[in-house]
Amino acid sequence: MDLLKDHYSDIFKVEENNVHIDILKAPRLPKENLEFFDAIISSNQYHIKVGNQHAWLTLSTNGVVAHKIPLSISLSVKKDVWIASRKIKRNEKIIQNMLQLENIEITKNYSKYHFGNLDFTGKMEIKRKMEVGTILTKQMIGRVPDIKRGDNVNVSIKGDTFAITLPGKARQNGLIGEEVFVMVESTGKRLKGIIDSPNHIIVRK
């Protein structure tokens, strides 16, 4: 159990006392004295998850593997997550005191939560409504668009031998460097271009 807790606390970046493990199934251990073996725990670290899963106890001596024992375990972790401290509107910019950290036990869907720091400078926003106490997930946050649908923009239409700039209107949200649809106001034509700045879209012909 100590080996398991040490292994998973490293994977989930938490203290060992925040890891809870139940061994559901394990074959009988070898009859040899286990003190003569070097023991390590391994698991699938490419898909980090909680809940029921498999791990392996490898026993070796002088670098030679003597036994590799499969273990069926149930795992949960306690970790800090962001929770709404008030009602939050859709597309509201993230600011201080809107969300607070709370340590909870995670028993399923580990990969959906946002565990990192948040940007409180107005560059991030909440994508959907959140009630008080709602846990923040990765799908709920995103960058504030540099251009929003309906924004008035300058549209530079460029070809090999010409370039012209006309007023237009963005038809999609987007970030600098992304491709979005824009409508040229004088013609009503819908074109696709690259966002160059918060009020400029380049269309190449």
What pLDDT shows up at residue 47?
Answer: 86
Q: Which residues make beta-bridge pairs with 99?
A: 84
The three-state secondary structure class of 193 is: strand
What residues make up the domain containing 199? 152-204
Residues in the chain, overall count: 205
pLDDT digit of tens for each residue in the chain (205 aa)?
999 999 999 999 999 999 999 999 988 877 767 778 899 999 987 889 999 999 999 999 888 998 899 999 999 999 999 999 999 999 999 999 999 999 999 999 999 999 999 999 989 999 999 999 999 999 999 999 999 999 999 999 999 889 999 999 999 999 999 999 999 999 999 999 999 999 999 999 8
90 in the same domain as 38:
no
- CB-count burial class (<10 Å; 0-12, 13-18, 19+) for 117: exposed
111 in the same domain as 163:
no
Question: Is residue 147 within 8 Å of residue 154, measured between CB atoms?
Answer: no
Distance (Å, whole) CA 104 – CA 127: 23
Q: What is the CATH number of the domain that holds 85?
A: 3.90.1210.10
138 in the same domain as 123:
yes
Distance (Å, whole) CA 140 – CA 69: 41
72 in the same domain as 8:
yes
Last residue of a domain, one of 52, 76, 100: 76
108 in the same domain as 137:
yes
55 in the same domain as 96:
no
138 in the same domain as 103:
yes
Torsion of CA 167, 169, 175, 180, to 10 degrees: -100
Find the largest Cα–Cα distance for the chain: 85
Question: Is residue 52 within 8 Å of residue 67, measured between CB atoms?
Answer: no
What pLDDT shows up at residue 205?
Answer: 86
Number of domains composing the chain: 3
Cα–chain-centroid distance for residue 165?
39
3-state secondary structure 141-200: EEECCCECCCCEEEEEEECCCCEEEEEEEECCCECCCCEEEEEECCCCCEEEEEEEECCE
The count of other CB atoms within 10 Å of the CB of residue 139 is 10
Last residue of a domain, one of 143, 168, 186: 143
